[in-house]
Structure 1
Amino acid sequence: MNEPKPALLVVGHGTRDEDGVADFGRFLERLRGRVPVPVAGGFIELSPPPLTEVVTGLYGEGHRRVAAVPLVLVAAGHGKGDIPGAMARELVRHPGLSYAYGRPLGPHPTLLSLLEERMDAALEAAPPAAPTAGPTAVLLVGRGSTDPDANAEVHKVARLFWEGRGAGGPEQRHGLMGVEPAFVSLARPSVPEGLERLRRLGARRIVVVPYFLFRGVLPERVAGEARAYAAGRPELDVRCAEVIGDCDGLADVVAERYEEALGGDIRMNCDTCVYRIAMPGFEDRVGAPQTPHHHPDDPADGHGHGHGHGHGHALGHGYGH
Structure 2
Amino acid sequence: MTNILFAAGGFRWGQFEAPLRAALAEAGLQADLSLEHAPDETDYIIYAPNKHFIDFAPYGRVKLVQSLWAGVENIVTDATLTQPLARMVDEGLSEGMVEWVTGHVLRHHLGMDRHIVNPGHEWVFDPAPLARTRNVGVLGLGALGAACAQALAALNFNVLGWSRSLKAVDGVACFAGDEGLREIVSRSSILVLLLPLTGATENLLNAERLGWMPKGAVIVNPGRGPLIDDDALLAALESGQIAQATLDVFREEPLPQGHPFWAHPGVTVTPHIASETRPETASRVAAQNIARVERGEPPLYLVDRQTGY
TM-score normalized by structure 1?
A: 0.45
Q: TM-score, normalised on structure 2?
A: 0.46
